[in-house]
Amino acid sequence: MRRLVALFALTALAVPVAASAHATLRVASPAPQSRLAAAPAVIRLSFDQAVSIGRSPIRVFAADGTRLDGAPRLVDEGRAVEVPVTGFKDGAAYTVRWQAVSPDGHTIFGVYTFGLGVEPPPPTEAVGASGPTWSDDLVRLALFVGFALSVGVIGFRLLVLPAAVPIALERRVHLVSTVAAFAAIDAGVAGLVLRGQDALQLSFVDLLYGDLSPLAERTRFGVAWMVTTVGLGALAALLLLAWVLDRPQLRRPAFVLGLLLLTAYPLSGHQATAVGSGLDERFADWAHLTAATLWVGGLVALAAIVWPLAPELRRAAFVRFSRLATACVSVLVAAGTYVAIDRLPDVADAWETPYGRVLLVKVALVSVALAWGAGHRFVVLPRLERGGETGGVVRSLLCESTVVMAVLLLAAILVNTSPPA
């Protein structure tokens, strides 16, 4: 009975009656990212409460930057803004940029696109947006490294290390993987904000009130961000609880969740929207990313966790990781080759397009990493199995990790670059 009362009290507190909220855009006509059959006479934005407006609350741009909007007016007791529009042409996409003053005094901003007889581009390709820059590439790298150190390290713990390990090692495994999960979330948030800044074309201060919802809710990138943010939050909680509550069984669902979250990127990148892109290509992308994650995470775990904290486990861990790394590298190369052939239909694309050139540099760096890994497999491993010296191995592992992280940077640049096919 007492439990029932407690449950009722919790439910009553958790589902309160709704009242008023911040001013937010509720309905836009035409709708964001919609494809229209006929040209609209007005653009109308409805907010959840009355707003005030300046001279140009709604600006409508054709692809060449021409303004199509007329004089604005407030309707519906200030809850909606309308502008008449003229000059539409069939078969073209248009950009709507809007701003209004919320009752709490904040000027709120937004941008979206729609198409007349054509599919509109995402807001990241709105008129005025310039596309990803080097800062997007760095943020994407941070995201990949965060995933590698979170999912890869916990994968190493499950697949390479024995069930019982020294307490200090266990603690560092969980510390590294949990912190990396948070770092990946932060990198994702930074990535969304950077994309938003480019789409909205606002200064840093105005960007604070920029509406990121069309980007978050109506693009594959945004939906992937939403899923991975909540998923990584749950992953971090599982890893935290696995260590604190001594529940090692929670590591398995955390690892599986991490592998599932990696599917968000093949499903949201350029490849997902390319003509002719199929499930096989997305699976190959996921396998490529997963293999790289396990390889990088395992290298870092071996060098920075096992080597300094558990000398008695070094040899066994190196031998077992060597097998895992061989499998990872095989998958990495096979999936990478499959995807490259698909995206570069003409051999000349490899040196004639920016995508191809970055891919060539990446292949060169992967070759260096593979040669390094082969050195570990065929020189260091036999020496360790004979009980030889282990001096210098940790430095060599860290160098290999650095090369693989440079490969991840190039992967980040590739993700932000459109392939020629």
Partner 1 sequence: MTPRAEIAHWVFASVFLFMGLLLLAEAIVGSEVFRRRSWRAHAWPLLAIAGGVLLWVVTVLSTFSTLHVTAHALWAQAAMIAGGVQLAVVRGKLSDPRWSLVTATAILLSGVSFIVHEQNAWFFARSAFLHHLLGWTLVVATIFPLLHAFRPRRGWQAGLALTFVAMAVMLFADRDVAPIFGHLSPDAARIGQATP
Query: Per CB under 8 A, which of residues 275..304 are in contact with partner 1?
Result: none
The CA angle 60-61-67, to the nearest 5 degrees, is 80
Min CB(307)–partner 1 separation in Å: 24
Listed residue (151, 114, 399) closest to 257, CA to CA: 151
CB 240 within 8 A of CB 174: yes
Minimum Å gap between C-beta 234 and partner 1 is 6
Handedness of CA 311, 313, 316, 318 (dihedral sign): negative
Handedness of CA 310, 234, 145, 294 (dihedral sign): positive
Residues 6+ apart with CB under 8 A from 383: 389
Tokens of 249: 């069984």
* CB 122, min distance to partner 1, A: 15
- Looking at the Cβ atoms of 101 and 274, the one nearer to partner 1 is 101
- Indicate which single residue of 40, 103, 117, 166 sits in contact with partner 1 (rule: CB under 8 A): 103
DSSP reduced 3-state for 235: helix
Least distance CB 407 / partner 1 (angstroms): 29
- With CB under 8 A as the contact rule, the residue among 4, 5, 21, 163 that binds partner 1 is 21
User: Which three-class secondary structure state does DSSP give residue 270?
Assistant: helix
Which residues have C-beta within 8 Å of that of residue 255, sequence separation ≥ 6?
Answer: 151, 154, 155, 158
When binding is defined by CB under 8 A, the residue of 215, 296, 303, 397 that contacts partner 1 is: 215
List CB contacts of 385: < 8 A, sequence separation 6 or more. Answer: 315, 319
Considering the rule CB under 8 A, would residue 77 count as an interface residue with partner 1? yes
Size of site (CB under 8 A) for partner 1: 64
Spatial contact of 117 and 93, defined as CB atoms under 8 Å apart: no
Check binding of 72 to partner 1 (CB under 8 A): yes
* Residue nearer to partner 1 on the CB measure, 76 or 385: 76
For the bound state, the minimum distance from the C-beta of residue 155 to partner 1, rounded and expressed in Å, comes to 21
| Per-residue interface string for the shown chain with partner 1, residues 109-138, x marking contact by CB under 8 A | ------------------------------
Which of the 8 DSSP states describes residue 303? Answer: I
Q: Give the nearest distance from C-beta 266 to partner 1 in angstroms.
A: 20
- Sheet containing strand 107-116, edge to edge, reads 35-36, 107-116, 92-101, 58-61
Which one of residues 67, 89, 106, 252 is an interface residue with partner 1 (CB under 8 A)? Answer: 106
Q: Which of 207, 333, 334, 399 binds partner 1 (CB under 8 A)?
A: 207
Helix (H) or strand (E) holding 74: strand 73-75
Q: State which of residues 42, 158, 240, 406 lies at the interface with partner 1 (CB under 8 A).
A: 240
Binding site for partner 1 (CB under 8 A): 10, 13-14, 16, 18-22, 24-25, 49-55, 72-74, 77-79, 101, 103-106, 108, 178, 182, 185-186, 189, 192-193, 196, 207-213, 215-217, 222, 225-226, 229-230, 232-234, 236-237, 240-241, 243-246
